[in-house]
Structure 1
Amino acid sequence: MSPSFYLDGTPDTVKSAKGMHLITQNTPNGQKVQIMLEELADVYGTEWTTTLINIMTNEQKKDWFLKLDPNGRIPVLVDNTQSPPFCVMETSAELLYLLKFADKDDKFGFKDELERNEALQWLFFWHGSGAPYQGQLNHFGKFAKEKIPYAIERFKNETLRVYGVLEIRLSGKYTGEPRDYLAGNGKGKYSVADIGTWPWVKGWSFSGLQEEDMKPFPHLMKWIDRIAERPAVKRGTGDKYSQ
């Protein structure tokens, strides 16, 4: 990496990285890009290196990290094949960057512009309308020092509402044709739309939701199980990304 990209406190694994380098932790957001890289490895033999950090110690708020991502959020993708090296923040942007530069055959995207736009719609839907609600449910339900019933109930209801949107899509409620995946013609194709959504939704029980809460979403639950069986998904959420 170019000297201008790091400070004295930057980990050596970041400073010395070649090629693609991911700074991450095994959280839902981290898992999005971890899974994408693992999927690309299965198809193309894509290689990358990884630096694991602990966000509970606020490592992501230190100057070395903020130099790469001023928002102080994991993961960060650094592409050292670019000159100068190029940093990408925000998970959806990282997935789209990998589509552009590492998925030449659109295995996880679409060549057809309408299908591609459909994938973007669902990717952005979860980024803007799903993860924020479920993230706040996690915060107020599990981590906040003060339990605020109104906040917990509000974000629980909003999380279930966006789950309902995904259920409508997957069930084919208004089309008459159930789907396997969020984007693409027919039953759909596994794509960045799914990769960008699944790591959060599969954690419904961690968020404090009960099986009774999930009964209205049978197609969503099958979608969770379907994606969980992919070898790259198992690796992308596995022990190699745990400290």
Structure 2
Amino acid sequence: MKEIIEVLNNHRTYRDFDENYQLPDEDLQQILDASRQAPSWMNGQMYSIIVVKNQKLRQKFVELNPGNPHMLKSSVFLLFVADLKRTQKVAEHYQVDYSIAEGIDPLITAVTDTALALQNAVVATEALGLGSVVVGSIRKDIKKISELLNLPDYVLPVAGVSIGKPTMEMRIKPRLPEKAVVHYDGYQEYDYEEIEAYDQTMEVFAEARETKLWSKKFADYFSNKPNVTIDEFVKEQRLLKE
């Protein structure tokens, strides 16, 4: 396997996969093992991983989200869910209150655990010489996805990962200037010029799927009302009170 720092610094997203490539079971197991070894708050491991191999299920995912055909064409699709059902079972066993819906901190904790496990899966995938793409847009149809997978209450889909053998090489995408991201001993203000410089960097990078300046893309995105179905779903799942 490649050196971990090299793998991390060479990360890139792949969306085109060899549909005939079968991911060996031992490789999938290594990815799952690495994912489960991620750090978690108090060793709570407040997540679950749904391994989706069934083609019919994955076809339904693509029908819901046609912009991501790789969910079907990749070797396997992993759905990472924040899982507070396990600790609810523990509370029932000890016959104590389960008060997680009283505030948002338990949900933040579970989502953080989930994200760390997902990142470990991505790193393990790349260390094996394979490619992946993280799919956050599964939350757009969060209720339908949950119904398809029979997810119980206290469980929240966070993101999926398509994994497979890439058919097209991708370039390493430039990141924001360090001054705009890294702060020492407190948050430090920076010039908007840092963002403008990144806009120019991304224009030169010229990724085909990007049709707007980086800054304009997010200005437009956050000028719209957030996906309120998430709010409703979180309450339905008993993760937050009404």
What TM-score does the superposition give when structure 1 sets the normalisation length?
A: 0.32
The structure whose Rg is larger is 2
Structure number having the greater strand percentage: 2
What TM-score does the superposition give when structure 2 sets the normalisation length?
A: 0.33
Structure number having the greater helix percentage: 1
By relative contact order (CA 8 Å, sep 6+), the higher-ranking structure is 2
